[in-house]
């Protein structure tokens, strides 16, 4: 769906506004020439080994990969490298000679383990009643080191660059939403750190539960392959960081209670001057500054639409516009969700979580463990019906009102052994209580659904 005319309505404490036109992101082909070293390093040389006792569930979650297998049905997003700087002094020159400031200052991602896309990659989907611990975080970084020393107070010293990683639970996360002017009844969701708590001076957010510091020396530098004066490929490496933070209590009615988010800020020791060239794809001269990039992903013309309040996985960024006081589209301040562009942005990363009470560990026989969420649901929402099968089976979904009349029926589809999910669209359903029934040769099971 092409994002052209949009109107935005916030879910929590935001104003409203409109977008006249949303630009399509154009990614240089040179940015897509990336490779990853097999070597990696861990913050403070400590590696976390999560518990794997029989009474817990512990696994890695990668939303981008699961989204490719689930929503995109195996189609892959295009990976590319995007460099971040704490200000907009350093410029990038593209192959056509056009020059633009490196205007992205912060990149982060929101994680929601309740997303049914995870089923496509074999992961268990949690509910809001499954508290969990974030054990580790992993992603690919590109540290291009072009300067090893600089003069400070007349002395030549080694350059040590700094990366800050901040972590948030729902206490520091704000959920918002927007709608298309052509379809004002549907709200698309996103979540970012609390917008009013970001310091535009330091790029740090005061609601973070924890801040990790990475000190980057020459030992952590990756290779930049140059051919005929232009970058041929970027070489990155994986990094794994122990986090050890618990999600907030999930025993309430808030579907967003167990969201987790993190963001990354790069602070180079050697500051650039306005107009300096950080990297040039056209072969022109560039200054010897250290660069820090992250592997992102996108697909031309593909928009990530998040309708359900139950599965809010999105990346976000802070750019020069919102950092220096401009409010975009009447309400976006401090952070821009990756879903607002015509071709949505993704930040591939891995989150390792452990939960002590996964309710779907034991599947006895037939069909079991039906869970409907969000519940209650809005009258224009997508509802996930998660269930378990002891063997492969054809399953049909039927929704009836309290008088037993069928208001929605999906054709039977083949589902596999283990945890599965089917999406029910509540469009056209009046406010009230309904029964969602799963029918199969393996058995029959129902659950109530309330539509507000």
Are 372 and 313 found together in one domain? Answer: no
End-to-end CA distance of the chain: 27
Does residue 360 belong to any structural domain of this protein? no
**What residues make up the domain containing 380?**
367-451
166-213 pLDDT per residue, tens: 999 999 999 998 877 777 777 889 999 999 899 988 999 999 999 999
Average pLDDT over residues 62-76: 93
Does residue 401 belong to any structural domain of this protein? yes
Does residue 216 belong to any structural domain of this protein? yes
Domain boundary among 312, 327, 355: 355
Are 321 and 182 found together in one domain? Answer: yes
For the cut 50, the answer to whether the pLDDT of residue 13 exceeds it is no
Does residue 81 belong to any structural domain of this protein? yes
Whether the Cβ atoms of residue 217 and residue 160 lie closer than 8 Å to each other: yes
User: From CA 327, how far away is CA 191, in angstroms rounded?
Assistant: 17
Given the DSSP bridges, would you call strands 34-42 and 230-246 parallel, antiparallel or unpaired?
parallel
Whether the Cβ atoms of residue 415 and residue 398 lie closer than 8 Å to each other: no
Are 402 and 265 found together in one domain? Answer: no
37-65 pLDDT per residue, tens: 877 777 766 655 555 444 578 899 999 99
Average pLDDT over residues 147-160: 95
Whichever domain contains 436, its CATH number is 2.60.40.1930
pLDDT of res. 253? 66
- Pick the closest to residue 386 from 436, 438, 421, 426 (CA basis): 421
348-400 pLDDT per residue, tens: 999 999 987 665 444 455 787 788 877 888 887 888 888 888 778 889 999 98
Domain boundary among 355, 380, 398: 355
* Helix residue spans in 232-351 (DSSP H): 320-323
Domain boundary among 328, 355, 382: 355
pLDDT of res. 207? 96
298-337 pLDDT per residue, tens: 999 898 988 887 789 999 999 887 777 677 777 788 899 9
Are 297 and 377 found together in one domain? Answer: no
Q: Going along 181-229, which residue ranges are E strands?
A: 183-193, 210-216, 224-227
Average pLDDT over residues 100-105: 89
Does residue 85 belong to any structural domain of this protein? yes
Tell me the whole-structure pTM to 2 decimals: 0.81
Does residue 91 belong to any structural domain of this protein? yes
pLDDT over 70 for what percent of the chain?
88
Task: Count CB-CB contacts under 10 A for residue 117.
Answer: 22
Are 320 and 396 found together in one domain? Answer: no
Query: Greater confidence, 21 or 43?
Result: 43
Structure tokens, 1: 């769906």
Whether the Cβ atoms of residue 341 and residue 30 lie closer than 8 Å to each other: no
User: From CA 56, how far away is CA 38, in angstroms rounded?
Assistant: 30
Are 112 and 198 found together in one domain? Answer: yes
Does residue 1 belong to any structural domain of this protein? no
User: From CA 83, how far away is CA 319, in angstroms rounded?
Assistant: 12
pLDDT of res. 309? 77
Q: At 250, is the secondary structure helix, strand, or coil?
A: coil
Give the chain's count of helices (H) and strands (E): 2, 30
What element of type H or E holds 109? Answer: strand 104-111
User: From CA 373, how far away is CA 107, in angstroms rounded?
Assistant: 29
Are 432 and 349 found together in one domain? Answer: no
Query: Greater confidence, 298 or 22?
Result: 298
Asked, as a colleague might, if the bond just before 374 is cis with ω within 30 of 0, I would say yes
Are 345 and 276 found together in one domain? Answer: yes
Does residue 224 belong to any structural domain of this protein? yes
Are 210 and 305 found together in one domain? Answer: yes
Are 198 and 326 found together in one domain? Answer: yes
Cα 52 to Cα 42, 97, 114, 350, distances in angstroms: 21, 54, 21, 18
Task: Count CB-CB contacts under 10 A for residue 37.
Answer: 12
Average pLDDT over residues 147-151: 95
- The set of residues, in sequence order, having a beta carbon less than 8 Å from that of 131 and lying 6+ positions away, is 246, 247, 249, 250, 258, 355, 356, 357
Are 425 and 307 found together in one domain? Answer: no
Lowest mean pLDDT among 16-30, 122-136, 251-265: 16-30
Task: Count CB-CB contacts under 10 A for residue 347.
Answer: 24
Structure tokens, 381: 């929402």
410-432 pLDDT per residue, tens: 888 888 777 788 888 888 888 88
For the cut 80, the answer to whether the pLDDT of residue 118 exceeds it is yes
Are 308 and 433 found together in one domain? Answer: no
DSSP bridge pairs for 129:
none
For the cut 50, the answer to whether the pLDDT of residue 18 exceeds it is no
For the cut 70, the answer to whether the pLDDT of residue 1 exceeds it is no
Q: At 29, is the secondary structure helix, strand, or coil?
A: helix
Tell me how many domains the chain contains. Answer: 2
């Amino acid at each position: 769906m092409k994002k052209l005319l949009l109107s935005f309505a916030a879910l929590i404490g935001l104003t409203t506004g409109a977008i006249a036109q949303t630009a399509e992101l154009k990614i240089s082909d040179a940015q897509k020439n990336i490779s990853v070293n097999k070597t990696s390093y861990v913050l403070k040389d400590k590696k976390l080994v999560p518990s794997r006792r029989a009474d817990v569930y512990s696994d890695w979650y990668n939303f981008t990969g699961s989204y490719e297998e689930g929503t995109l049905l195996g189609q892959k997003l295009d990976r590319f490298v995007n460099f971040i700087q704490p200000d907009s002094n350093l410029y990038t020159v593209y192959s056509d000679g056009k020059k633009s400031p490196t205007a992205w200052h912060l990149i982060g991602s929101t994680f929601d383990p309740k997303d049914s896309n995870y089923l496509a990659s074999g992961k268990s989907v949690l509910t809001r009643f499954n508290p969990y611990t974030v054990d580790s975080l992993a992603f690919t970084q590109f540290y291009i080191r072009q300067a090893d020393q600089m003069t400070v107070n007349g002395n030549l010293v080694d350059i040590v660059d700094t990366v800050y990683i901040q972590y948030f639970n729902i206490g520091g996360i704000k959920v918002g939403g927007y709608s298309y002017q052509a379809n004002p009844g549907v709200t698309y969701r996103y979540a970012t750190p609390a917008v009013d708590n970001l310091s535009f001076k330091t790029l740090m957010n005061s609601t973070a539960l924890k801040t990790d510091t990475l000190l980057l020396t020459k030992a952590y530098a990756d290779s930049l392959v140059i051919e005929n004066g232009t970058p041929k490929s970027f070489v990155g490496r994986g990094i794994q960081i122990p986090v050890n933070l618990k999600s907030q209590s999930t025993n309430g009615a808030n579907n967003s209670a167990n969201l987790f988010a993190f963001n990354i800020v790069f602070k180079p020791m050697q500051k650039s001057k306005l107009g300096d060239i950080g990297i040039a794809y056209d072969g022109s001269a560039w200054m010897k500054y250290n660069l820090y990039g992250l592997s992102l992903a996108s697909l031309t013309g593909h928009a990530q639409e998040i309708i359900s309040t139950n599965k809010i996985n999105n990346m976000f960024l802070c750019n020069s516009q919102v950092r220096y006081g401009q409010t975009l589209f009447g309400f976006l301040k401090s952070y821009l969700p990756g879903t607002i562009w015509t071709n949505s942005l993704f930040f591939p990363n891995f989150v390792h979580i452990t939960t002590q009470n996964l309710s779907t560990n034991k599947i006895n026989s037939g069909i079991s463990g039906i869970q409907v969420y969000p519940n209650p649901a809005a009258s224009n929402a997508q509802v996930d019906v998660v269930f378990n099968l002891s063997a492969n089976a054809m399953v049909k979904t039927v929704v009836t009102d309290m008088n037993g009349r069928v208001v929605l029926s999906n054709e039977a589809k083949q589902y596999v052994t283990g945890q599965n999910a089917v999406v029910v669209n509540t469009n056209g359903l009046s406010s009230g209580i309904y029964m969602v029934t799963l029918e199969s040769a393996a058995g029959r099971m129902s659950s109530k659904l309330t539509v507000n």
